[in-house]
């Protein structure tokens, strides 16, 4: 009875664990999609390597979503084949997540270059850009309260006076507020967008790495529970 009770506890723990994983998988999919849209629509980053983290998040999230459902059914029905397959697939996911965490750590050093190149491209094409493109660049400067790549001086080409910035650089935005006020710190943001955005992205990648490690540790527990349940089923215990 004691063994049966313990195995029953393992069974329902595995079902509950898979439910949590199912929710985590869905959350990763949503997070990956949001990151992809933000990076490539708002920032218009062209470097395809920047898509690496969002794509991995979406892919891993989708796998966890379906594998968790599969594992939950296997545990509830006490199907040895399904539970075994679940344990194997979950182990593969853990390996992928660890690899993604390592790649994210290495990728941090490339963020600075990607952000700088992307912002430079946006500013250089601003003057002759479409209305939508200009709105995107303005949105970045307004959101991050910054101006230019490294400083407001990056906009010196915008007007013949060499002293004009887009109105989105203004601390208090009004029509024409950037005209002739490039160096006026009381009216225009002097800090460039590069450092602000780089720090933000690095900080968030660190959290993604931490989250991946935590989820991997939880999934290791899932593999352990699966192995215990497999052993129980194989031994013929009745856990219902």
Exposed, middle or buried by CB within 10 Å (0-12, 13-18, 19+), for 207?
Answer: exposed
10-53 pLDDT, tens digit each: 777 777 877 887 887 787 788 777 766 666 555 555 554 555 66
Quick one: tokens of 158?
């915008």
| Domain assignments of the chain as residue spans, ordered by start | 2-127+194-235
Instruction: Give the total residue count for the chain.
Output: 240
192-222 pLDDT, tens digit each: 999 888 888 777 777 777 777 777 787 788 8
What confidence tier does 239 reach under pLDDT thresholds 50, 70, 90?
A: very low
Q: What does 48-59 look like in DSSP terms, one character per residue?
A: GGGGHHHHHHHH
Q: Report the alpha-carbon distance of residue 29 to residue 41 in Å, rounded.
A: 18
3-state DSSP helix/strand/coil % of the chain, to nearest 5: 75, 0, 25
- In this prediction the pTM is 0.60
How large a percentage of the chain has pLDDT more than 70?
Answer: 85
């Amino acid at each position: 009875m004691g063994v049966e009770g313990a195995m029953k506890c393992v069974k329902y723990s595995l079902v509950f664990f898979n439910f949590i994983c199912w929710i985590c998988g869905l959350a990763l999919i949503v997070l990956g999609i949001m990151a992809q849209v933000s990076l490539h629509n708002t920032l218009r980053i062209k470097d395809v390597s920047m898509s690496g983290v969002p794509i991995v998040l979406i892919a891993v999230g989708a796998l966890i979503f379906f594998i968790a459902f599969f594992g939950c059914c296997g545990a509830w029905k006490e199907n040895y084949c399904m539970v075994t397959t679940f344990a194997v697939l979950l182990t593969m996911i853990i390996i992928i997540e660890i690899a993604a965490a390592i790649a994210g750590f290495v990728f941090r050093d490339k963020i600075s270059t990607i952000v700088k190149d992307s912002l430079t491209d946006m500013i250089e094409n601003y003057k002759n850009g479409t209305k939508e493109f200009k709105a995107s660049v303005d949105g970045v400067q307004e959101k991050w309260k910054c101006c230019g790549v490294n400083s407001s001086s990056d906009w010196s080409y915008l007007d013949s006076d060499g002293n004009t910035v887009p109105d989105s650089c203004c601390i208090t935005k009004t029509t024409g507020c950037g005209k002739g006020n490039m160096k006026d710190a009381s009216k225009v943001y002097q800090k460039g967008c590069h450092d602000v955005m780089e720090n933000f992205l690095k900080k968030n990648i660190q959290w993604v790495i931490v989250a991946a490690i935590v989820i991997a540790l939880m999934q290791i527990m899932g593999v352990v529970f699966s192995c215990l349940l497999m052993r129980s089923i194989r031994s013929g215990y009745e856990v219902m």
